[in-house]
Amino acid sequence: MGSRRDIERLIAEGRVALGGQPLASPALRLASLAGLTVDGRPVGCAAAARLFRFHKPPGVLTAARDPAGRPTIYDVLPPGLPRLIPVGRLDLMTEGLLLLTNDGGLKRRLELPASGLLRTYRVRARGRVSEAALDALAEGVTIDGVRYGPVDARLDRSAPGRANLWLSMTLAEGRNREVRRLCQHLGLVVSRLIRVSFGPFELADLPPRGVAEVPASALRPFLGPA
């Protein structure tokens, strides 16, 4: 029926009832959905968990809506998809693999640091960096009082006389703008940032704005109690 906050709002508006009596609080544990209604309509069982790979283009927000009117992923997703929520997020100008799911429990399990899922990014940046500086990131680094965990960083391509270089960076935490801050720490200016994998799920040859469903068999390790 909606996200946790959506449901809390529905309850506050008196639209959720159990046995005909409106609920006054979301603090209620249910043994079953029997007798539960929203706007008088019975609530059915949740659909099976599904996961989709989406190639997010740059310039769109990972959000349901934006007060400033900027486009969001929901403005560019193709029609005909179920209601989906993002697993984590990519910032406005970051492109590449964004996972989308219809299941809140699956979302939480994929996002939890305990899952140990690595995220890999390809980075185009201006500047120069030594192999030693990249190797030092494997021990983690503190930037402006914030501790970032180990990062596997390597130089993919750099040509003499050219301003741009390409890096690959793999990390586990995925904090807000982490890759951009790490590059700034190295004296690099990011001009393009692409996430190419999230755990076992890869962007591969999915085109920009393209969506592909992950086979149900690939979800089995991530299903179960959050």
Catalytic residues: 91
Nearest partner of 168 among 99, 224, 96, 93, judged by Cα: 96
Burial class (CB in 10 A: 0-12, 13-18, 19+), 6: exposed
3-state class (DSSP) for residue 43: coil
Q: Where is 69: in which H helix or E strand?
A: none
DSSP-derived letter for residue 72 is B
Cβ pair 210, 54 in contact under 8 A: yes
